[in-house]
Structure 1
């Protein structure tokens, strides 16, 4: 009887471990996308106690979308459609289609929305993360043909000292420091780099004093589409590509995992990566869906490979109010 009592718990532990192992190795049943329908190039951000997603509206060959939407969540699991926040035909005079790959940044109580429109980069501004956003310039912030490659996929990073930087480009990664108004810069100070494997979709964040530049490799229509990264001591580089790459790629039924963004849970060293994948089933480079997975680091600050079959578990932001004594 004593032997049996010892065997039963051990057997239970073994079966649990075996079950967990089977779940990890199951590449035929991917988790559901976080947004209903087809959305790509998701930019994720946290403002206050709320998370926001700003994606490309997908589903047309040639990526001919004409508008952008915003989605909000209190837990990274349940998402609310906040509606259309920028409609190119209605809100712009200089572009009507190809609404792609937006990004958002907050500074001085305003929200600046950077976006691709007909292979130009524009910027709109609002008083709230959910808009409505208004074209800030009445013309592109970065016009097509300004540099080599396509003028698409903007990303704005605001450093701890309030300095802001713009990253963009397909074919090359272009970097420039924005002026304090967030809608202008000195063209003479643009630098262009091309890390090995770089194609598009740059994203920058800072952790423990280190700057991480991430990007997508291959083409979004390619099942091998994936995400790699490099690090630097300055937001403008020079960046050194990490040895362990890519850190995000498809597996099993998950194809074309890329064009990502990263969010830190306010007040915690807890990180999540939003990205798109081919729609499951039957997706392709024009029919993509949005996913979110945890993103972790080792003790040296290296990004660990992301498990595209792992999803957030009811993540909430706790706002700590300061009281005067």
Structure 2
């Protein structure tokens, strides 16, 4: 039988090309190996921010069924890669008279030359104050800032956004999103002026950023115990809405070995249009909704200002703050 050498060479080249392409694609879509968590241990609901020349993460201490943690820690880093545990900054049994457990999902803001720390405690929202981002924090009210039952849904997951004009807004809520403008003292607000709404798919964990005049409200969909837990967003011309949900797939979701990726926060590198998203995922291996770990991934925008899908397998490189 006569063999067509030209055809054979072409076929071999095609096979080699397919194999090479498959090898490259396998590297790109490898979902079996995820970057390690940035914090050692099980921590969830990370609130990432920057003060001065350091990044900070304020998380929920995880590892108990029912999320019965009783204290909060702070972590700091000069570069987003190397993180130092700054210790306990607020201990509920020691520092509060109105709640002893369920210390969840904190956030922090700087104003009036002080640091204001907002947190969930026994399904209420409290506020604490310190002169340093690493605490210790003290309760200035002796009671919740927003007691449970103030609005429908769970009174959890606070987030504070300070706008360019210095006005501060508090967002919170599981089951529906609530927003109210904080008073200048940062420890009070007018509950009669709370705006409540529920974007399609919204469950919990609201977080707001502002970029090029656009306000982005981001949130978690599904339940934190659900492997489908993910992040979506909406945009507005005002910090109090109305917000229009972005079309398409979630901004962040698990894939392969990464499950339950959500309850996030976002930080901008000072002086740059460079953004990073912190979030938790089920601990790898053998994690679940009570054993979660904190991760960081780059977050990018397209030319139209849409948030691009986050690659949970992209490893964060060291970032320097030039400020």
Shared fold (TM-score greater than 0.5)?
Answer: yes
Whole-Å separation in 2 of the counterparts to 1:237 and 1:245: 22
Q: Kindly indicate whether the alpha-carbon contact (under 8 Å) linking 1:41 and 1:56 is maintained by their aligned counterparts in 2.
A: yes
The Cα shift of 1:201 comes to: 0.2
Q: What does the per-residue CA deviation read over 1:78-98, in whole Å, with 9 as the maximum and x for residues that have no partner?
A: 000000000000000000000
Matches within 5 A, 1:11-22: 21-22=25-26
CA RMSD after TM alignment: 1.5
| 1:200 maps onto 2:209 in alignment | no
Give the match for residue 34 of structure 2.
30
SS of residue matched to 2:93: helix
Give the match for residue 274 of structure 2.
270
| 1:287 maps onto 2:297 in alignment | no
SS of residue matched to 1:55: strand
Q: Kindly indicate whether the alpha-carbon contact (under 8 Å) linking 1:151 and 1:169 is maintained by their aligned counterparts in 2.
A: yes
Give the match for residue 244 of structure 1.
248
Matches within 5 A, 1:181-192: 181-192=185-196
Give the match for residue 8 of structure 2.
none
Give the match for residue 147 of structure 2.
143
Matches within 5 A, 1:90-239: 90-239=94-243
Give the match for residue 80 of structure 2.
76
Q: Kindly indicate whether the alpha-carbon contact (under 8 Å) linking 1:229 and 1:245 is maintained by their aligned counterparts in 2.
A: no
SS of residue matched to 2:218: strand
SS of residue matched to 1:223: coil
The Cα shift of 1:17 comes to: 8.2
Give the match for residue 5 of structure 1.
none
Give the match for residue 11 of structure 1.
none
Whole-Å separation in 2 of the counterparts to 1:272 and 1:301: 15
TM-score, length-scaled by structure 2: 0.93
Q: What does the per-residue CA deviation read over 1:51-82, in whole Å, with 9 as the maximum and x for residues that have no partner?
A: 00000000000000000000000010000000
SS of residue matched to 1:135: coil
Whole-Å separation in 1 of the counterparts to 2:24 and 2:314: 12
Whole-Å separation in 2 of the counterparts to 1:273 and 1:256: 15
Q: What does the per-residue CA deviation read over 1:255-278, in whole Å, with 9 as the maximum and x for residues that have no partner?
A: 000000000000000000000000
TM-score, length-scaled by structure 1: 0.92
Whole-Å separation in 2 of the counterparts to 1:280 and 1:20: 25
Give the match for residue 313 of structure 1.
317
The Cα shift of 1:31 comes to: 0.8
The gaps in structure 2 that reach 5 residues or longer are 1-17
Tell me which moved more, 19-28 or 60-69. Answer: 19-28
User: How many pairs does the alignment contain?
Assistant: 307
The gaps in structure 1 that reach 5 residues or longer are 1-13, 320-325
Q: 1:48 aligns with which of 47, 52, 59?
A: 52
The Cα shift of 1:311 comes to: 2.2
The Cα shift of 1:146 comes to: 1.0
The Cα shift of 1:38 comes to: 0.3
SS of residue matched to 1:134: coil
Which structure: larger Rg?
2
Whole-Å separation in 2 of the counterparts to 1:28 and 1:136: 47
